Structure 1
Amino acid sequence: MITDQQGNRLSGATAQAAEHYNEAQVSFALYRGDPLAMVDRAIETAPNFAMAHILKAYMLGVATEPAANEYAKEIVDKLSSMRLDDREASHTHALELMLDGGWTAAAQALDMHNVNYPLDMVAVHAGHLLDFYRGCARDLRDRVARVLPAWSPDIPGYSLLLGMYAFGLEEAADYTKAEEKGRRAIELQPLDSWAHHAVAHVMEMQGRTQEGLDWMTIRKPYWADDDNFFKVHNWWHHAVYLLDLGRGHEALALYDSRIRVNQSQIALELVDASAMLWRLHLAGVDVGERWSEVANCWEPHADGNSYPFNDWHAVMAYLGAGRDNDIECNLLELRRKGSEDSEIAQWARLTAIPLIEGFTAFWRQDYQTAAEKLHGARFIVDRFGGSHAQRDIIDLTLMEAAIRGGYSNLATGLTNERLALKPSSHANANFLKRIHHLNKGSSKAA
């Protein structure tokens, strides 16, 4: 019987196809190389190799891109005509839910899947990404915790599991344990970009800015290679540290030389580009015409139907580029989608639309509306998308709205919040100085 590296049966595989599949699985989890090409080789070698098709469908489905989602649906349709064992059928069910917009239902299906198949790395990894995309900190932590006792350091992939666990612990605010697990994962596999990224998140959340910048710099040989799919997001973290230290022009140079050097069309990297331009704008750095390049790249992805987190980031670029018609079209589609009953519709209605309205009001200097929209959005945004560090852009924009609108009481309260969490942050100290200047003049009620 042919199995994967963790001992799970691979029906329809040959020994050569299994080798390609195992390579693809590791490449996908490390965010290095070309896992799609590897899994395609497995499928070419063994066309009825069900898990190879399943792995490919997950890779495409978690890209959060409409075209990739449709391609993944075609793969799942093909799987329905194949003879599947129980594990493969369970995966196919989760894929169907995910590709139909039921992200939480799919994640919960994979919860149950891993109860029965704790050594199924594909399921753990796919579920972990689903938890990330729906902003579920608890399952980011507990999904791995549930299966980790079944693993041991001598099982291939153990270090990758630790890297995922580190990120889940960080998002659940268990920073000490998160850093411990992340550093252990890197000891076992120095090329694990996700584990490196988990430790970077810990330092960001704790306000250890210079230490975080040093962490990125010292470990750059391990995460900045050309074949590293995660390098752009890690460069984003590098730039965030620079911004917190008040080194905005260095962050802009990094944007040009690293984050947008290849003008990527990948949605995940466009999120980083939009968010960094917005943060630079908040910091008072003139980004010039860079908005238009990013806005053009968002066109095939921001459809108002696939993943509202992307639509929100697309609108940031549309605002900067002055593309008001695109903003209105996107909002129109989100409102149409929001009238449905799906989970994507809930994200559109309850989270994306208030965020887009708040960011639009801010850009148009309607700071009162921005403050009203974004203050409320802070408490619902964990229902979808991204990490705490990524979602901090909401609080940063709200803070700027309060200061620029002259709402000193609100600005003071928000700064107190931030300083309680990050007392050594240069950016938070700067907010405090600006509020003192604001208080010398007239102030408005929040």
Structure 2
Amino acid sequence: MAHHDRRFLPLSTASDTAAAQYREGIDLMLAAWPGAAEALDAAIAADPGFALAHAARARLHAMRGEPAAARACIAAAAERVARAGTERERSHVAVVALAIEGRSGEALEHALAHAEAWPCDALILSMPLGAFGLLAFSGRADHDQARVDLCERHAAAYAPDDWWFAISRGWALTENGAVALGRALTEEGFGLRRENANGAHALSHALFEDGAGAEAEALIADWLPGYDRAGVLHGHIAWHAALAALERGDAQAALALYGAHVRPGVTAGLALNVVTDAVSLLWRLSAYGHAVPAGLWDEVRAYAEPRFGEAGFGFADAHMGLLAAATGDRAGAASRIAALTALAEAGTLAAGPVVPAICRAALAFADEDWDSCVRILEPVAAEVVRLGGSGAQREVIEDTLLVALMRTGRAEAARTLLDARLHRRPSPRDARWQARLTA
């Protein structure tokens, strides 16, 4: 009997158990739901020669920041697919291998070519998508549009009730400014599978961009208790609720969510999420005029430095720059800025010169040198998108510029920026700031 994946692509395994466990493992991985590792391990145990199960396990290790295990699994996949695999499976393994080897540009190129031939290979199509995907971290300023174009190009290949594609397409549209359509598609996909952290996450973003903070808080309060704390997005989804609390001015609620779900040591999230969520929330608290309790910044620094001490990953570097500024680590900031500047000048830093500029602006902001902060950030504001991540995550940089503008007394420039933000999405915090500037 021939076996197929969830979207009817053939699988090179003769084992019913291996095929069933593989389908389950991929579903759980695409939903960011606990149990994917166990399902894929069961698929491998049922058929040790099943290359795609090894490749999926490699991808999961890589996503969880376990490079040695990822390399071992993808080597096993490559060895097995060379012996017994279809053209599609060989291409699939090659794309995952390129990503694991850190060859991101080649991985993106091969993933896009693979999608042309096999658009329903969801694991491969997922790799260019998302806030932390190959397109987001490509350094392209148009990565939001590129994700939409990719989804639209292959939409006809997916069934209308494919929960994963509906959510992925919805998120891409939301991030690119088509919030109403993006939210509708995301809600539709989430309704098809609620045991789906990627769905709850995408919907949290849609609600944020729609100015529906109260709805986001209600959604997360209702849904999050049913998501195991071992889930990699548990802390990040709670971060969205904390962000909504800050939007309405409730710093204590934001800090309570941070302490219970987001801070290092209490979350099982990916290291990149742990660091960037913690840094951006604490930085916002301080920038908005709220006190950050003693010890919180030092805790984040102790967690972050061993993991992101080396410069070269723009999205992490920008947050590490904020962290260094907030903790008074001028030597660390200077070292990172020098390294990032050299990489940008050499053309090997994907996001380019905007990254060291953000780090310099953060130092000026921490020193209350508002004029210097504005002078550094204003010329590169349009380039911040090249960091990758999501609009909600990158907004911390725009907030920094906005607060600096207000504190320099440049009311007209601040009002212009606020007008653009309020036109894009309603925000109770921005409305309060706008009222203060026009009073």
Shorter-normalised TM range? 0.7 to 0.9
Asked whether 1:247 is paired with 2:250, we answer yes
Separation in structure 2 between the aligned mates of residue 376 and residue 13 of structure 1, nearest angstrom: 59
Asked whether 1:163 is paired with 2:136, we answer no
| Alpha-carbon distance, 1:299 to partner | 1.8
Give the alignment partner of residue 139 of structure 1, picking from 129, 133, 146.
Answer: 146
| Structure-2 residue corresponding to 1:393 | 396
User: Conserved in 2, the CA contact under 8 Å of 1:186 and 1:192?
Assistant: yes
Residues 204-353 of structure 1 mapped to structure 2, 5 A cutoff: 204-222=208-226, 224-260=227-263, 262=266, 264=268, 266-287=271-292, 288-305=294-311, 307-342=313-348, 345-347=349-351, 349-353=352-356
| Alpha-carbon distance, 1:5 to partner | 2.4
| Alpha-carbon displacement from aligned partner over 1:278-297 (angstroms, at most 9, x marks no partner) | 11111222112201111111
Give me the TM-score of the superposition, normalised by structure 2.
0.88
- Name the aligned partner's letter for residue 212 of structure 2: R
| Alpha-carbon distance, 1:74 to partner | 4.6
| Alpha-carbon distance, 1:70 to partner | 5.3
- Residue segments in structure 1 that go unaligned for 5+ positions in a row: 438-446
* SS of aligned partner of 1:26: helix
| Structure-2 residue corresponding to 1:5 | 6
Separation in structure 2 between the aligned mates of residue 196 and residue 144 of structure 1, nearest angstrom: 19
| Alpha-carbon displacement from aligned partner over 1:235-293 (angstroms, at most 9, x marks no partner) | 11111111111111211111111212615572222211111111111122211220111
| Alpha-carbon distance, 1:227 to partner | 4.1
Separation in structure 2 between the aligned mates of residue 389 and residue 295 of structure 1, nearest angstrom: 22
Give the alignment partner of residue 373 of structure 1, picking from 357, 376, 384.
Answer: 376
* SS of aligned partner of 1:301: helix
Aligned length: 426
Separation in structure 1 between the aligned mates of residue 57 and residue 126 of structure 2, nearest angstrom: 13
Separation in structure 2 between the aligned mates of residue 54 and residue 376 of structure 1, nearest angstrom: 43
| Structure-1 residue corresponding to 2:198 | 194
- Name the aligned partner's letter for residue 39 of structure 1: L
User: Conserved in 2, the CA contact under 8 Å of 1:359 and 1:370?
Assistant: yes
Separation in structure 2 between the aligned mates of residue 308 and residue 37 of structure 1, nearest angstrom: 33
Structure 2 CA distance for partners of 1:25 and 1:13, relative to 1, 3 Å: farther
Moved more, 243-252 or 321-330: 321-330
- Name the aligned partner's letter for residue 197 of structure 1: H
User: Conserved in 1, the CA contact under 8 Å of 2:171 and 2:182?
Assistant: yes
Residues 45-194 of structure 1 mapped to structure 2, 5 A cutoff: 45-63=46-64, 65=65, 68-69=66-67, 71-82=69-80, 83=82, 84-128=85-129, 129-134=133-138, 136-153=143-160, 158-194=162-198
- Name the aligned partner's letter for residue 149 of structure 1: A
Structure 2 CA distance for partners of 1:417 and 1:323, relative to 1, 3 Å: same
User: Conserved in 2, the CA contact under 8 Å of 1:166 and 1:177?
Assistant: yes
| Structure-2 residue corresponding to 1:443 | none
| Structure-2 residue corresponding to 1:203 | 207
- Residue segments in structure 2 that go unaligned for 5+ positions in a row: none
Separation in structure 1 between the aligned mates of residue 92 and residue 204 of structure 2, nearest angstrom: 32
- Name the aligned partner's letter for residue 409 of structure 2: G
| Structure-2 residue corresponding to 1:441 | none
Moved more, 396-405 or 104-113: 104-113
* SS of aligned partner of 1:299: helix
Separation in structure 2 between the aligned mates of residue 306 and residue 52 of structure 1, nearest angstrom: 31
Separation in structure 1 between the aligned mates of residue 31 and residue 284 of structure 2, nearest angstrom: 28
| Alpha-carbon distance, 1:385 to partner | 1.7
Q: Percent identity?
A: 23
Separation in structure 2 between the aligned mates of residue 188 and residue 372 of structure 1, nearest angstrom: 48
Separation in structure 2 between the aligned mates of residue 370 and residue 102 of structure 1, nearest angstrom: 34
